[in-house]
Amino acid sequence: MRFLLILSLIITQSCTGQNLNNSSFTPGDIWKDADGNHINAHGGGFYYEDGTYFWYGEHKNQNSLAQVGVRVYSSDDLYNWKNEGVALSVSTDPNSEITTGSVIERPKVIYNKKTDKYVMWFHLELKGQGYAAARTGVAISDNPLGPFKYIKSFRPNTKIWPKNIDDSEKVYNEEDEKLEWWTPEWKESLIDGLYVRRDFEEGQMSRDMTVYVDDDGKAYHVHSSEENQTLHISLLTDDYLDFTDTYVRVQEGGQNEAPAVFKSGNTYYMITSGLTGWDPNPARSFKSKSMLGPWEKLGNPAVGEEAELTFRSQSTFVLPVAGKKDAYIYMGDRWNPKNHRDGRYIWLPISITNGKPEFKWHDEWDLSFFDTLAP
């Protein structure tokens, strides 16, 4: 009898894989893919097509340097994920910008209807330079699973002024750069565009980022710029492969990182984090009637115990659930800088209460949460 039981267990496991039976989310636990391995897709971005969700993320080892590249997983229910391999590989060519040992973070994939191509944007730091390069990178594929072909990386908006900067703020003053960091004079100068002026010729810094495709097909690149002190939102070209000359500064001096954008009705919402590296801090939220702003501050969307640490997570994406109205999932990373591959995923259901996004902690939840939301 016992033999038969064990045999049937073995057969079931080998037919279905080990972990294709999840029916809920358990934020912060080890999340096993169908092969039984903890999902390795940090700083993730999500794309949905024809009943399949694709999860792109940073393949991490113990440290956070890119040794493999961007991994992709697929799922048809968001609970059970299949490892689909490497969507964008690091290069073994030491002269490549995405060579092994570079930093590839926060990959986001969007689909371009006009060109029928999948476009991946990500934050790139060049090997051996820490976080000094502050570039955005782009890659392209015919297939959501890849392989994505690396195109280029750069600092965007070279020799272009943001739409919302005054003429008086365009005048470079060498003295500004001598201001001591964190003094009131420095902060004032920063808000006035100190780093936009400094980086005007060489391009604006681009670190934590996301991309967002609007209903009209226009795509926007949102990134931490100006020494991570100010967000920039830029309109991409029609093929999504480049920047146009349209961009704005958002929350000047507000120190926002980890942007995630979603739209409910006619309102755009953005969730971000503060600036404490791998350590968690209180999330922030904003709303706007247009991607190019103005963005209004709404406060911390996390509610309840540990909200001041966003339940020990940092935002990476907000996913609209396919087929459910007003169903959005906050997706965050609980980083583990001692062993990056053990970083955990914190997904929580968002409700929009009085025009403000909110999410609370759940040890375990499932998509039926959204069926109980008030209309």
Q: Which residues bind ligand GAL (CB under 6 A)?
A: 43, 105-106, 208, 257-258, 277-278, 314
Q: Smaller CB distance to ligand GAL: residue 217 or 277? A: 277
Q: Which residues pair with 210 in a beta bridge?
A: 222
Q: What minimum distance in Å lies between the beta carbon of 132 and ligand GAL?
A: 12
End-to-end CA distance of the chain: 53
Distance of CA 86 to the CA centre of its chain: 18
* Cβ nearer to ligand GAL, comparing 278 with 361: 278
CB nearer ligand GAL, residue 33 or residue 257: 257
**Measuring CA to CA, how many Å separate 168 from each of 9, 58, 72, 130, 193?**
73, 41, 46, 34, 10
Structural element, H or E, at residue 213: strand 209-213
Q: What residues have CB less than 8 Å from 189, skipping those under 6 apart?
A: 176, 179
CA–CA separation, 24 and 47 (whole Å)? 20
For the bound state, the minimum distance from the C-beta of residue 30 to ligand GAL, rounded and expressed in Å, comes to: 21
Pairing of strands 356-360, 302-303: parallel
Residue among 58 and 176 whose Cβ is closer to ligand GAL:
58
Q: Is 225 left (phi over 0), alpha (psi -120 to 50) or beta?
A: beta
CB of 360 to ligand GAL, least distance (A): 23
Min separation Cβ 272 and ligand GAL, Å: 10
- Residue 233 or 235: which CB sits closer to ligand GAL? 233
Residues 285, 148: Cα–Cα separation, whole Å:
32
Query: How near is the Cβ of 51 to ligand GAL at its closest, in Å?
Result: 30
Closest by CA position to 121, among listed 101, 99, 150, 144:
150
Residue 34 to residue 28: CA distance in whole angstroms: 18
Peptide bond preceding 301: is omega within 30 degrees of 0, i.e. cis? no
* Shortest spacing between CB 26 and ligand GAL, in angstroms: 24
Q: Are 352 and 358 in contact (CB under 8 A)?
A: yes
Nearer to ligand GAL, 147 or 282 (CB): 282
Q: Which is nearer to ligand GAL, 111 or 278 (CB)?
A: 278
Residue nearest to ligand GAL as judged by C-beta position: 277
Q: How far is the CB of 142 from ligand GAL (least distance, A)?
A: 28
